Structure 1
Amino acid sequence: MTSAALPGVSLTFERAASGDEPLRTDVAVFLGRTRRGPVGVPVRVESWNDVVGAFGPPDGTSATPYALRGFFENQGRAAWVLR
């Protein structure tokens, strides 16, 4: 369904696909410094290996990589990282 809210602006509403699993509402977000990686672009990571691949290993100058490692060591499944 499409409706015009303001001139030149349209909103489109679509039904979500029904799946067996409900949408996750427990995805974490980490903001901070890392050794490397895109700046100002959120990156989804699903494991410690994803973190190291995208942002490099901890270098001792920021707590962000250590917080992410702890998150995944405690069964965290998905997170967004923004540096």
Structure 2
Amino acid sequence: IAGKPMKNYLDWAMLTYAITMTGHPAVSVPCGRTEKGLPVGLQIVGRHHGEASLLKAAVAYEQAAPWADRRPPLK
């Protein structure tokens, strides 16, 4: 974040902790890659008991993404 690397998994988990504690449904969808080719995810958060709407939003985003069918080269 802001050019500072995360040191371990717990640092990454802290980014989603607040949403998890509220009980809101959330989903992560791929949204691109960094300049180095690393995957980037987008967390979408819904209203309480709004799982159906949240999943519809995630599907719509993935369908609209022009890069959704691209795969990284495997070495």
Give the TM interval when normalised to the shorter protein: under 0.3
Name the structure with the higher strand share.
1
TM-score normalised per structure 1: 0.21
TM-score normalised per structure 2: 0.23
Higher relative CO (Cα under 8 Å, sequence separation at least 6) belongs to 1
